[in-house]
């Protein structure tokens, strides 16, 4: 297993020749039933792979959106060992794809908190990267209240991963609001943002934030999301999408289960960075 912090990887300029890569963001409406969620994920992964996706990404909390935030504690797994991690490894190997398991609750060493962890598996089923969500969502407006820090222990390390010459920056949901994280990862070719944005915050900011991160980092952004009415009464925003380095939306789905897929093209990145070399103009 390799969990690589951001700094040691080469810049995209020296990463070598990359070929266009078909990627897919899986949108789900996860429930408190882990088995049912894994069945739904397996079906959508297969659909994306059958349609030619080489990299498939699942949303945050794909395996569980419980009746209570603390429900995730009951299904926590040890790092490298557990049925959810086995499921991801087997799906990646079965379809011979790169698979990002949006987030998995991993043991943090605390009886009351887990790590909200994004795991990347290669086509051979081996784990290639682990990223623990750094920024924890907190929100309160009227009766709507969220406090991830009550059940999640924050990560500390930015992580990038190499997928067939593509430099991927890993992030999760609320991280999207912190551009300094992506500057730490920069330059990257593709940012992954598995998410479960609330309907309230998603309606206001989701599209804007995704496009902003793509524009300012001159890279693609792939954002698989939860999208719909969940059995626990929560409503998530959805709109899983792929955004290109100019901020144009390549593919998007609104609510409900589905797959948003498209091709990430190194020539598109090169063209944008050559015509507007903002990354080379940075002074801070």
Which of 63, 72, 77, 133 is an active site residue? 133
**Considering 63, 91, 173, 219, which one is annotated as catalytic?**
173
On the 0-12 / 13-18 / 19+ scale of CB atoms within 10 A, 207 is: middle
Is 63 a catalytic site residue?
no
Task: Quote the Cα angle for 271-277-283, to 5°.
Answer: 160
Peptide bond between residue 28 and the one before it cis (omega within 30 degrees of 0): no
Residue 124: how many other CB atoms lie within 10 Å: 10
Whole-angstrom Cα distance, residue 35 to residue 93?
20
Q: In whole angstroms, what is the distance from residue 178 CA to residue 180 CA?
A: 5
| Distance, CA of 218 to CA of 148 (rounded, Å) | 30
Distances (CA, A) of 98 to 73, 134, 156, 173, 265: 27, 23, 24, 20, 17
Are the beta carbons of 216 and 270 closer than 8 angstroms?
no
Q: State the Cα–Cα distance between residues 30 and 170, nearest whole angstrom.
A: 22
Q: Is 133 a catalytic residue?
A: yes
Residue 173: active-site member: yes
> Which one from 60, 77, 148, 255 is the annotated catalytic residue?
60
Catalytically active residues are 60, 133, 173
């Amino acid at each position: 297993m390799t969990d690589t912090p951001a700094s040691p990887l080469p810049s995209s300029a020296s990463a070598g020749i990359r070929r266009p890569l078909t990627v897919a963001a899986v949108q789900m409406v996860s429930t408190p039933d882990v088995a049912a969620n894994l069945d739904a994920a397996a079906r959508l992964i297969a659909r994306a792979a059958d349609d030619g996706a080489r990299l498939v990404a699942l949303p945050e909390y794909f395996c569980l959106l419980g009746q209570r935030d603390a429900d995730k504690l009951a299904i926590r797994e040890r790092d490298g060992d557990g049925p959810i991690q086995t499921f991801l490894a087997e799906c990646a190997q079965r379809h011979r794809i790169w698979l990002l398991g949006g987030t998995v609750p991993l043991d943090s060493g605390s009886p009351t908190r887990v790590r909200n962890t994004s795991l990347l598996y290669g086509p051979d089923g081996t784990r290639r990267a682990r990223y623990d969500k750094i920024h924890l969502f907190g929100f309160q407006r009227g009766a709507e209240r969220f406090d991830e820090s009550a059940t999640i222990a924050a990560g500390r390390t930015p992580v990038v991963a190499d997928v067939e010459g593509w430099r991927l920056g890993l992030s999760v949901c609320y991280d999207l609001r912190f551009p300094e994280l992506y500057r730490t990862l920069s330059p990257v070719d593709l940012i992954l943002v598995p998410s479960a944005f609330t309907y309230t915050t998603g309606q206001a900011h989701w599209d804007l934030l995704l496009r902003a991160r793509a524009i300012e980092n001159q890279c693609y952004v792939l954002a698989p999301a939860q999208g719909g009415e969940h059995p626990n009464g929560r409503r998530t925003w959805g709109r899983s999408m792929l955004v290109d380095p100019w901020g144009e939306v390549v593919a998007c789905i609104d609510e409900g289960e589905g797959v948003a897929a498209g091709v990430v093209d190194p020539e598109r990145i090169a063209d944008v960075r050559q015509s507007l070399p903002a990354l080379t103009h940075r002074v801070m």
